[in-house]
Amino acid sequence: MKYLLKFFKGYRIESILAPLFKCLEAIFELLVPLAVARIVDIGIRGGDHREIFLMCGVMIALGVIGLICAISAQYFAARTAVGVSAKIRSALFAHIQALSQPVADEIGTSTLITRMTSDINSVQTGINMFLRLFMRSPFIVFGAMIMAFTVHARLALIFAVVIPVLAAVVFSIMLVSIPIYKRSQGRLDRVVGKVRSNYKGTRVVRAFHKEEGEIAEFDERNDALTKIQLFAGRISALMNPMTYVIINLAVILLIRGGAISIHSGDLSQGELIALYNYMSQILVELIKLASLIITLTKAAASGRRIADVLMTSTEKEKHFSTKKASSDTALCFENVSFRYHEGADEALSKVSFSLRAGETLGIIGSTGSGKSTLVQLLPGTYLPTEGSVFIDGKNTALYEKDELRALFGIVPQKAQLFTGTVRSNLLWGNPDADDETLWQALAMAQAKDFVEEKELGLDTPVQQNGANLSGGQRQRLTIARALLREPKFLILDDSASALDYATEASLRSALAKLDATKIIVSQRASSIMHADQILVMEDGELVGFGIHRELLDTCEVYREIYHSQFSEGGDKQ
């Protein structure tokens, strides 16, 4: 939690004023029992109506001033809580955006979502409650004890005994409940993860009639979350009855001792009522304090989880060679091996090849052969576990992240569009592009015709993930977006899978005129057979490298893929 204190910068005055106004409110509240005592002892017992009206007026004034102080305190506390949580949320989002892919994979998407939402909301509530009550409750508890000593020192000793006992109970429960709430948030991560995976895979779940199994698994995770929350709730619920028992025992002792003192003439009835009111104030404030501690326990657990992410290094430790590749190669893989997690099987194993600038590289292989993994090593999304990847003769590990990625235009395997318009999505590629440039990119990506057919053209709305567009339209828009970057390297990761053969052929012809080194990943032989070099992958290994005709003669894997897609008498150029 200490790590998050820096976010209070800019809200220090509000952080001081909120508890200050609460303390002022508490002072006025502590004066009320004295006014009640005067009403009983002087006004009622002595028949002094003027004193009764005077003290009633004092009590109303104390109440009004206390209300103003309470509203002021609430304003400053809310302003601080909202402002600080907004700064934390912005910092956390920025940090998540800066995380390298391996680090993000290690933390987990569902965990990051929970910390951006539930955890920050918990911290915001904790800050608000803390500023309002962390000084008020102890102030009234100890203030009531001090005021009790001014009324009657011997009976006030009951207060001096009760308060430490109550403090011991409250803090014992707090120490037990903090780790339980932390575990509860971990269980919440698992529930969020399940919801997210089901939301993304709804069509697959329905296609395979797995609804019942998925519901059962969700119920299992939800039940685990419910059980630990109930367990935490039961422990926290002990606080109220235990404090009530202790306070009421103290009240019994107070009334008994007060009755004896009144009988002996050592204490007036008004003073006993004042002592009882102070004991009631302590009870109310301890209940508030118990609620505050439960809230702060949740907030502390959430704050630690947020701080853990913020303190996580954005990059994993890099291990690489500083040597350079040949200057005449645009990209070069040198004995590259890669695994996604330590202890996992290798996704790539001892891959070596090179490509000159301006050439087109085709990458083909069956599903799971390592094609997409290979191209993710090029822009530094991942770094090799072993070996080196060189871009323009320089190891990718030596590049600054922004410098390296500026060289690439990437069309991912799954077309990803954002809520907005066709124009706003294209401008991701080049924020300064004018309409003419946008239309040129659309034309090269074979997307101009269908955009022109739309009534709003470039301002046609795009729903989240391009839900209102077909698969082929989404792919062509993502290709146009990548072309707007005018990249030195263009990566097309199976980005024409939803296009028909005629459209793909037109796209291929248009891209051939592009002055860039192109890397085309596909499961279609027709998409890569005209490439300058073809790389054939199988189970993470490079099993063939060369041109189309050579591979037909020398690479069995390539030959099988080709013949499975073309008849024996078909075109094999």
Residues 427-437: pLDDT tens digits? 998 899 998 99
Residue 289 has pLDDT above 80, yes or no: no
Residue 76 has pLDDT above 90, yes or no: yes
CA dihedral 2, 7, 9, 12 (to 10 degrees): -70
Cross-strand pairs, 398 = none
Strands 348-355, 331-338: parallel, antiparallel or unpaired by DSSP? antiparallel
Q: What is the pTM of this model?
A: 0.71
Cβ atoms within 10 Å, residue 399? 17
Long-range CB contact pairs, 138-144, < 8 A, 24+: 138/289, 139/22, 139/23, 139/26, 140/26, 140/29, 140/30, 140/281, 140/282, 140/285, 141/282, 141/285, 141/286, 141/289, 143/26, 143/27, 143/30, 144/30, 144/278, 144/279, 144/281, 144/282, 144/285
Taking all residues of the chain, what is their mean pLDDT, rounded to a whole number? 85
CA dihedral 88, 89, 95, 99 (to 10 degrees): 140
The single residue listed with the structure tokens 């099987």 is: 345
* Main-chain dihedrals φ then ψ at residue 180, nearest 5 degrees: -70, -40
The single residue listed with the structure tokens 């590629």 is: 429
* Main-chain dihedrals φ then ψ at residue 152, nearest 5 degrees: -155, 110
Domains, the chain, in order of start with CATH, read 2-192+223-310 (1.20.1560.10), 414-486 (3.40.50.300)
Contact call for residues 23 and 66 (beta carbons, < 8 A): no
| Average pLDDT estimate for 244-258 | 82
- Which pLDDT value is given to residue 573? 40
Question: Using 50, 70 and 90 to split pLDDT, how confident is the model at 320?
Answer: low
Residue among 275, 287, 281 nearest 244 (CA): 287
Cross-strand pairs, 470 = none
DSSP-derived 3-state class of residue 143 = helix
- Which pLDDT value is given to residue 92? 92
Q: Is 185 or 338 the better-scoring residue by pLDDT?
A: 338
Write the CA distances from 254 to 158, 261, 269, 287, 289, integer angstroms: 7, 10, 13, 20, 23
H or E segment and range at residue 124 = helix 120-133
| Average pLDDT estimate for 541-546 | 91
Residue 3 has pLDDT above 50, yes or no: yes
| Average pLDDT estimate for 193-215 | 82
Q: Is 220 or 240 the better-scoring residue by pLDDT?
A: 220
| 66: amino acid identity, one letter | G
Question: Using 50, 70 and 90 to split pLDDT, how confident is the model at 203?
Answer: confident
